[in-house]
Chains A and B, each alone.
Chain A
Amino acid sequence: MAGNGVIKTGIAGLDRILMGGIPKTNVILVEGTTGSGKTLLGAEFIYRGITEFNEPGIIVVFEVSPDKLIRDAATFGWDLAALQEQKKLQIVFTTPQVLDQELRSADSLLLETAGEMGAQRIFIDGIGLLSQISHAAAALPAIGPGSYRDTLQQLIEGLNRERLTAMLSHELGDCAEPQATSEAAEFLVDTVIRVRRSLYNRRIHRSIEIVKSRGQDYDPGEHTLSIVNGKGLEVFRRVQAPLPFSMDQPTSMAKRSVIGVDALDALLGGGIFDGSTTMVVGLSGVGKTVLGTQILREGAMKQNKRGLLISLDEHPAQIVRNAETLGLDLQVQIDEGTIHVLFDSPQELNIDLHFAKIVQTIEKYDIQRMVIDGMTSYSTALQDQAVYRDFFHAMVAYSKHRLMTTFFSYENPEFLGLSTFMPDFPVSSIVDNIILLSLVEIKSSLRRCLTVVKARGCPHQFDSREYVIGQGGITLLPFDETVAKALPLASYNSILSRAPSRLASATDSR
């Protein structure tokens, strides 16, 4: 018992969605289609109650054989047989007819057993079957004596009388009658939890939603429900929801260098603020990942900021190897634990799980500087602009709440000219700083240039600066110097259009 009349389910992540738990003695309906996880949810509710909160429980089954329930539970490491021997659990096999009769009976054997063992929780698997009892021959009345609603009301009365916190599972179907019975159940119970199993791009996706819960606040919407091998269920809060904690946003006046290059800091007006978010936009091959590596190393080596690199594209081993070729020994910081790399495959990416993994890593290692390389891969993996946008918003909000300095890289597909920073959705108002990495064609060669387009609160410069990638990573060239005897970028107009024209004065001076 969690205190204040709230009972914790003990199911990982679910109590957070329920803002701490469920009011004691609430009758909870878990509804869903076949294979959505109803029985597992109910069994874990009872198991966690016994093992984590010392609350004995009863599981009532109509169709599932108790020995199979015990066998299946064992795959999660739950020893239900041992709990039965300890008299903390009783699995009861019965029929809907008997349950109906029992709960109307003054000397119910089931409730007597509940009292004897001090049961505080009960799970009844498949209450939809109650709709078939005693009226099998006749049409089911919608309301009044003998109706399913009436039967359910009696059941709920009996459970309330015994002050049991009950979970009832209800199979959802497609035809009209089960829908009607489900609606009746939804109305009568205190809490409705809907679990879903759906196919999404040929993948199985399980979700959970609190539809209603009397006497409490809860986190609305569809959250991810995951069956974890050897453990049980785990609920991952949907990533797009507003953060549950205080929305007071800490701010910092501390300015830090991005990569320790004076020229870049000068462009940024002296560095960027701690806790700010920066979008690094550019074509493939302009050095976004290199810049990301430098950002993290600068933080870890010179500013004592633990860093996290998140990638959907490249395996950590490949990232380390590529950095090494530029003389950036990322492995040293990884071994020291000052930089962490989180790689998730874009295949089968579940964004709620991924976000939870990021948050867990950040909190475990107290990450203060983060690079997400890159956002384009999320767009491709998620194939859902709304979810993609929500993930981005959630990352920005979380990052700012922790006063963490975060860099997002984004691969802009536009080669010639740039009509928008991120074609997926407008981002300029969300991030604090935007650094644009461009390729410009001058004579017959491509040259790289860096432009600080936006730096909130910083007196930044709008100059486009040429940079090279070599040993040590990205180096900005002095404003008036050239590479390979070419004119400096300052000698051209329309650099950002990626179709520059030489200034007349520059031509004359040559």
Chain B
Amino acid sequence: MAIEEPQDVPVLERLQVLGVELLTEWDALVFLHRHAASLCTAAQIAQLIGYDRAEIGPALHRLEALGLIRRSRVSQGIRFYRFSEPAEASRHGCLRELMNLTYDRAGRLLLLKHLKRSGLAPRRRRHGGLRLA
């Protein structure tokens, strides 16, 4: 089987199928995908992936609305954030392809090209899916 080059993946189309628009949303999704079930506050997720709390809150909310993550009830500011595999085959396939892109620099640059930045200035970048730009 031929190895798919990053540029072969129609990234924008895949992102649109998933409904992910912002870089913040994508970084949060990658973090939760890697960690599967995170018991923490939104502020801690923001800190771990190098964003402000004000950016992460709406991103997590939108990811939940898109059915890509699940949030438990809140207990003293803490929630369970769980990655949620899309049930529809088309969305599932798109997510897999895009996640694969995050494992090399060329793929990440391609994703970066198609994701919008939020209005807020990013904090000092330390970790996270797209921490290279």
Residues of A within 8 A of B (CB): 60, 65-67, 84, 90-95, 97-99, 101-102, 105, 107-110, 113
Q: Would you call A93 and B78 a contact (CB within 8 A)?
A: no
With A65-B34, A109-B80 as contacts: A94 and B75 at CB distance below 8 Å = no
| B84 contacts chain A at the CB level, 8 A cutoff | no
- Considering residues B33, B40, B79, which has the most beta carbons from chain A within 10 angstroms of its beta carbon? B40
Q: Which of A67, A101, A110 contacts B76 (CB 8 A)?
A: A101
Taking the nearest CB of chain B, how far is it from the CB of A84, in angstroms?
7
Q: Would you call B35 and A66 a contact (CB within 8 A)?
A: yes
Q: Would you call B80 and A102 a contact (CB within 8 A)?
A: no
Q: Would you call A66 and B37 a contact (CB within 8 A)?
A: yes
Residues of A within 8 A of B38 (CB): 92-94
The distance in angstroms between the C-alpha atoms of A99 and B76, with both chains bound, is 12
- Over the window 60-84 of chain B, the binary record of Cβ atoms lying under 8 Å from chain A Cβ atoms (1 yes, 0 no) is 0000000000001101101110000
The distance in angstroms between the C-alpha atoms of A105 and B33, with both chains bound, is 27
Q: Which of A90, A92, A108 contacts B75 (CB 8 A)?
A: A108
Residues of B within 8 A of A94 (CB): 38-40
The distance in angstroms between the C-alpha atoms of A105 and B76, with both chains bound, is 8
Supplied contacts A98-B78, A110-B39, 11 more A-B pairs, CB within 8 Å: A65-B34, A65-B35, A66-B37, A67-B35, A93-B38, A93-B40, A97-B44, A98-B44, A99-B39, A108-B75, A109-B75
Q: Would you call B76 and A90 a contact (CB within 8 A)?
A: no
Taking the nearest CB of chain A, how far is it from the CB of B79, in angstroms?
7
Taking the nearest CB of chain B, how far is it from the CB of A58, in angstroms?
9
| B17 contacts chain A at the CB level, 8 A cutoff | no
| B36 contacts chain A at the CB level, 8 A cutoff | yes
The distance in angstroms between the C-alpha atoms of A84 and B40, with both chains bound, is 19
Taking the nearest CB of chain B, how far is it from the CB of A114, in angstroms?
12
The distance in angstroms between the C-alpha atoms of A90 and B38, with both chains bound, is 10
Q: Which of A91, A98, A105, A108 contacts B40 (CB 8 A)?
A: A98
Q: Would you call B37 and A105 a contact (CB within 8 A)?
A: no
Q: Would you call B36 and A93 a contact (CB within 8 A)?
A: yes
Residues of B within 8 A of A (CB): 33-41, 44, 72-73, 75-76, 78-80
Residues of A within 8 A of B36 (CB): 66-67, 84, 91, 93
With A98-B44, A109-B72 as contacts: A91 and B78 at CB distance below 8 Å = no
- Considering residues B33, B41, B76, which has the most beta carbons from chain A within 10 angstroms of its beta carbon? B76
Residues of B within 8 A of A95 (CB): 40, 44
Taking the nearest CB of chain A, how far is it from the CB of B71, in angstroms?
11
Residues of B within 8 A of A108 (CB): 75
Taking the nearest CB of chain A, how far is it from the CB of B43, in angstroms?
11
Residues of A within 8 A of B44 (CB): 95, 97-98
Q: Would you call A93 and B79 a contact (CB within 8 A)?
A: no
Residues of B within 8 A of A91 (CB): 36-37
Taking the nearest CB of chain B, how far is it from the CB of A487, in angstroms?
86
Taking the nearest CB of chain B, how far is it from the CB of A135, in angstroms?
18
| Residue in A closest to B38 when the chains form the complex, CB atoms | A93
Q: Would you call B76 and A92 a contact (CB within 8 A)?
A: no
The distance in angstroms between the C-alpha atoms of A65 and B39, with both chains bound, is 13
With A95-B44, A98-B44 as contacts: A109 and B79 at CB distance below 8 Å = yes
| Residue in B closest to A113 when the chains form the complex, CB atoms | B80
With A108-B75, A109-B79 as contacts: A98 and B35 at CB distance below 8 Å = no
The distance in angstroms between the C-alpha atoms of A95 and B79, with both chains bound, is 12
Q: Would you call A98 and B39 a contact (CB within 8 A)?
A: yes
The distance in angstroms between the C-alpha atoms of A98 and B41, with both chains bound, is 8
Q: Would you call B78 and A90 a contact (CB within 8 A)?
A: no
Taking the nearest CB of chain A, how far is it from the CB of B40, in angstroms?
5
Q: Would you call A92 and B37 a contact (CB within 8 A)?
A: yes
The distance in angstroms between the C-alpha atoms of A113 and B40, with both chains bound, is 14
Residues of B within 8 A of A92 (CB): 37-39, 80
Q: Which of B37, B41, B75 contacts A93 (CB 8 A)?
A: B37
Residues of B within 8 A of A84 (CB): 36
Residues of A within 8 A of B75 (CB): 102, 105, 107-109
The distance in angstroms between the C-alpha atoms of A66 and B33, with both chains bound, is 10
Q: Would you call B37 and A102 a contact (CB within 8 A)?
A: no
Residues of A within 8 A of B78 (CB): 98, 101-102, 109
Taking the nearest CB of chain B, how far is it from the CB of A484, in angstroms?
79
Q: Would you call A90 and B35 a contact (CB within 8 A)?
A: no
Taking the nearest CB of chain A, how far is it from the CB of B100, in angstroms?
14
| Residue in A closest to B81 when the chains form the complex, CB atoms | A93
- Considering residues A90, A93, A113, which has the most beta carbons from chain B within 10 angstroms of its beta carbon? A93
The 6 A-B residue pairs with the shortest CB-CB distance, nearest first, are A94-B39, A93-B35, A93-B38, A67-B34, A66-B36, A109-B75
Residues of A within 8 A of B73 (CB): 109
| Residue in A closest to B80 when the chains form the complex, CB atoms | A109
The distance in angstroms between the C-alpha atoms of A99 and B38, with both chains bound, is 11
- Considering residues B37, B38, B73, which has the most beta carbons from chain A within 10 angstroms of its beta carbon? B37
- Considering residues A60, A95, A107, which has the most beta carbons from chain B within 10 angstroms of its beta carbon? A95
Residues of B within 8 A of A98 (CB): 39-41, 44, 78
Taking the nearest CB of chain B, how far is it from the CB of A134, in angstroms?
14
14 contacts between A and B (CB under 8 A): A66-B34, A67-B34, A67-B36, A93-B36, A94-B38, A94-B39, A94-B40, A97-B44, A98-B40, A98-B78, A99-B39, A105-B76, A107-B75, A109-B75
The distance in angstroms between the C-alpha atoms of A84 and B36, with both chains bound, is 10
Residues of B within 8 A of A107 (CB): 75
